[in-house]
Structures are given as C-alpha cells and as structure tokens.
Amino acid sequence: MMRTRPLKVALLGCGVVGSEVARIMTTHADDLTARIGAPVEIAGVAVRRPSKVREGIDPALITTDATALVKRGDIDVVIEVIGGIEPARALITTAFEHGASVVSANKALLAQDGAALHAAAEEHGRDLYYEAAVAGAIPLIRPLRESLAGDKVNRVLGIVNGTTNFILDKMDSTGAGYQEALDEATALGYAEADPTADVEGFDAAAKAAILAGIAFHTRVRLDDVYREGMTEVTAADFASAKEMGCTIKLLAICERAADGASVTARVHPAMIPLSHPLASVRGAYNAVFVESEAAGRLMFYGPGAGGSPTASAVLGDLVAVCRNRLSGATGPGDSAYAALPVSPMGDVVTRYHISLDVADKPGVLAQVATVFAEHGVSIDTVRQQGKDGEASLVVVTHRASDAALTGTVEALRSLDTVRGVASIMRVEGE
Ligand code: NDP
Ligand code: HSE
C-alpha cells in the first residue's frame, strides 16, 4: 500500500554532496516514491551562506538555523552532509532526540564519536546509516554489516581516499607536481574542506577505523590507527618503485592477527606490484579487498569521491532508512561485542624498501648488512648505484616486524658511513 503523506527530510549541507543529493531526490522523485512506498520530500536545507544561488533548490527551503530545522517535529530523516565535528555532532544528537533517523557521510565524526552516536540512535529507536562515509559510491559498509554478518573477516585492505589516489596517479602517470594535482582534485570536489585531512592520511585513517570496527566487531578509535600521509612521496620513490615493477598507493590495511586475539589498523603509502589489481586503480577511484574465512577474497571497486557518486550512497541509505521507518523497524546497529585489543604498529609484519645514501668505500655494504642481521631483518635484494664518490643503496627486506625495522633504521642512522636514510616504504600486496 502506497502512503500518500510524504516522509520529510532535513538536508544539512548543500555543497558538493548535498547539492547532488537534492538534485537526485528531485529528478528521481517518482522512482524513490515507488521504492520506498511513500513520497519523500525535502522539508528544509541548512547552509552557512543563505544568499548563495543554488540551482534546483526552492529558496524558501533554505535556512541558516540547522538546529531549529532538526528540532521540527515533522522531520523523519536528517541527512548530514556538512562535515567536521561540530555542529554536525550536536545536530545529529538533536535529530535523534526529536525522533528523526540520520544518514551521514561524515567519516571524521563517525570515527571519533561513532559509539556515542550509535548509542543515541539506539536509545531513541532510530537508524544511523553512513554508507557514503567510506569509499564514496562503493557499497562497503552494508556488505560488511549485513552480507558478511555470518562470516569472519580477517583482513580489509585497499585504497579508500580518492584525492590521494588522484594525486599519486597523476604524479606517476603524467609526472605532474604534487600541488598541481592537489589543486585539480580540489576543483573536482574530491578533497575535504581542509585537504590536509586527505594528504596527511587523516581521512583514510578515519575510514580505516570505521571499517576495522565493523569488520572485527571491535571498537577501533581514530587514535588506534597508525597513520602516515603521502606528502613525502617523491618522484624518486616512483622511479625506485618502477625499477621493482611496482607503483605507490596510499593504503588502508586492517588485519586480524594470525592467532585471532588482536587487530591492527594502519594507513600509509606502500609499494605494490604493477600486477596487483590495486595498481590499476586510477584517478579518484577506490578499491577495497575484504578477506573472510568462508567467502575468501572479495573486491569492491568504484568511484571513491565526488558529489554524484557520494550522493548515490546517501540516497541508498535514505531509501533503507525510510523503508525501516514505514515498517516500524530499525536496521543493524553498533556491533563491538568482540572487543579485541588493537595492537601497536610495531607488531605489524610486512616487507620494506629502504633507500640509503652511503659512503662509496670498501666494507660499507657489509656494515649495513650486519645492522640488518643484528636486528633480525632478513634482506631480500640490494641494489647499489654510485654517485659522486657516494652511493645510493636500495635494500628490500623479507617480512619483518615494524619494531625490528625501526630499530634497524635507528642503528643505520648512527653509522658514520650512512649519510642519510632517503626513504622507507612498506611493500604490500605480494
Ligand atoms: P562542502 O564543503 O562542499 O559542503 C558543506 C556544506 O555544509 C555547504 O553547503 C555548507 O554551506 C554547509 N555548512 C557548513 N557549515 C555549516 C553550518 N554550520 N550550518 C549549516 N550548514 C553548514 O562539503 P562536501 O559536500 O564535499 O562534504 C560533505 C560531507 O560529505 C563531509 O563530511 C565529507 O567528508 C563527506 N564526503 C564528501 C565526499 C566528496 O567527495 N566531497 C565523499 C564522501 C564523503 P554553504 O554552502 O553555505 O557553504
Ligand atoms: N576527500 C575524500 C576522498 C572524499 O578524497 O576520498 C571521499 O570520502
């Protein structure tokens, strides 16, 4: 039975994502009505700058008083696409208190306060959905929360930030400079309001915290995620990667320990072989591998940023939340029952590519090799190239713990013959 009284939506934010949400809600109104079982209409749009011209939005709906909008008794669903911590957090909490369910794309907030927001949703019997918060258009949260709810996920690995993938891809394929590529990503609407969040890895770390929490049914806080951005990746790193048959990607990696007793979550640039499917993820696309006990290896791929792709994920959540509302149900809530400890980065085991500037004289290679051996780090390959009486030494290790590698690098730095450690990069995907 089709309900004629519309479900009312408060749209908080009408920027890159919000404007596309509004556009699709208008242009696909009939389909959305049929799929939900009731019409759904925008009852108000909260923004910061009311005088800005917004195509396709009825000016009468615009308000700068977002709090008053979410407090209205007739709002069924609040879509939060403002971003940042405040006022988004207060607005979402107020929305639950006043009876609305919430759809959000705000990974920064969910990574920081997801537990409290889920608790507020549960207390008020409402939904909190956030498919758009991780990997743009790619359905990933719902497969992890629902489709894989009967399986045991052991690893989630992938590219979860469109901006940095866009920049790294441009640097690698066209030789573009970092700033030029970042400016283009910003103009295309991929970057966060403060792009530092993208390039320093905070955005990917927030997404890793969300993914690890859902995948391992464990509370993973933003601070639990080891984070390195991509601002230090140089053209020389790309050249070195190429010589190894690799490229460089900013990866998010969430893993259950082999004994199943703990988990780790990390974000950092890594070399991956050109033959690996992640190496061919171009532009602002994202791709995530999920490895689980029964299903095996699953790959999720698609546009990871941008207004229209992100709006697709928001709209999917809107339909789900509206259906729940009509049937008087709520979707899956928070699940952190496993409560596994999150291990520090030192426990992570992987391979490393290390570039050293050393004196070009007899015995130096043996000295360097001894330091690796003393720290229990086994060398896979060594490549040396002379330059003006000095030499550049590139060492690729076998698998070693991050703690052992850190100890090795500290000891190398203290050698007189080692002029400098030019770069250290993890090697993944082999
Ligand atoms: P924008 O900066 O383009 O839009 C933000 C919107 O929020 C603007 O309309 C702005 O108003 C409004 N706003 C800001 N502060 C307030 C406030 N205090 N009260 C009311 N409205 C306010 O951001 P995006 O659309 O790019 O991102 C929105 C959210 O979606 C963020 O959480 C982001 O992380 C997330 N996201 C973004 C993706 C993307 O590709 N852009 C992809 C996935 C998620 P005004 O228009 O007047 O300035
Ligand atoms: N700034 C984010 C990115 C938006 O580039 O991936 C999508 O979450």
Each residue of 194-246: pLDDT tens digit? Answer: 999 999 999 999 999 999 999 999 999 999 999 999 999 999 899 999 999 99
Q: Tell me which of 3.40.50.700, 3.30.360.10, 3.40.50.620, 3.40.50.1110 is the CATH number of domain 152-303.
A: 3.30.360.10
Average pLDDT, the chain: 97
Q: What is the pLDDT of residue 389?
A: 81
pLDDT in tens, 4-55: 899 999 999 999 999 999 999 999 999 999 999 999 999 999 999 999 999 9
pTM: 0.97
Residue 388 has pLDDT above 80, yes or no: no
Domain positions in the chain are: 7-136+308-327, 152-303, 345-427
In CATH terms, the fold of domain 7-136+308-327 is Rossmann fold (3.40.50)
- Ligand 2 lined by 192 (C-beta under 6 Å): yes
- Ligand 1 lined by 42 (C-beta under 6 Å): no
Which atom, in ligand 1's list, is nearest to the CA of 162? 40
84-90 contacts: CB < 8 A, separation 24 or more? 84/108, 84/109, 84/193, 85/109, 85/112, 85/113, 88/12, 89/113, 89/117
What percentage of the chain has pLDDT greater than the value 70? 100
- Ligand 2 lined by 162 (C-beta under 6 Å): yes
E strands of 36-193, at which residues? 40-46, 62-63, 77-80, 101-104, 128-129, 153-159
Which DSSP state fits 59?
Answer: G
Q: What is the pLDDT of residue 387?
A: 74
- What's the gap in Å between 267 CA and the centre of ligand 2? 14
Backbone Cα Rg of the chain: 24
- What's the gap in Å between 174 CA and the centre of ligand 2? 22
Cα gap 56→345, rounded to integer Å: 48
Q: What is the pLDDT of residue 168?
A: 98
Q: Spell out the alpha helix ranges (H) of 328-401.
A: 364-374
Residue range 131-148: mean pLDDT, rounded: 98
The CATH architecture that domain 345-427 belongs to is 2-Layer Sandwich (3.30)
Is pLDDT larger for residue 58 or for residue 430? 58
Count Cβ atoms below 10 Å from residue 230 Cβ, excluding itself. Answer: 25
Query: Is residue 87 reached through a cis peptide bond, with omega within 30 degrees of 0 on the bond before it?
Result: yes
- What's the gap in Å between 386 CA and the centre of ligand 2? 41
Q: What is the pLDDT of residue 300?
A: 98
Residue 180 has pLDDT above 80, yes or no: yes
Residue 430 has pLDDT above 80, yes or no: no
Which DSSP state fits 222?
Answer: G
Q: List residues with catalytic annotation.
A: 207
Which atom, in ligand 1's list, is nearest to the CA of 106? 32
